[in-house]
Amino acid sequence: MQRVQRVQRVQRVQRVQRVLGQPSLVLVLVLVLVLVLAQAQAQAQAQAQAQAQAQAQAQARQYRLGHTLPGQ
């Protein structure tokens, strides 16, 4: 009887070690989600920066056009 209990205990420990040794599917999904969100945020930031730069260039062009003297 003690031998059976010992074997069951060893099997239980091995099962727990197997489960803990493998990366959890939830952990992998969370990691993928974080990476996707970080990529989307970086893309949106780059797009906003490009848009702001284009707007600044357009304003500078308008300023130069409005402040040039006739005949130049």
Sign of CA dihedral 12, 18, 20, 25: negative
pLDDT band (50, 70, 90) for residue 53: very high
- Report the number of secondary-structure helices (H) and strands (E) in the chain: 2, 0
pTM: 0.49
Q: What residue spans define the domains of the chain? A: 40-66
What would the pLDDT profile of 13-42 be if each residue is shown by its tens digit?
888 878 777 777 788 889 999 999 999 999
Tell me which range, 26-30, 44-48, 68-72, is most confidently predicted by mean pLDDT: 44-48
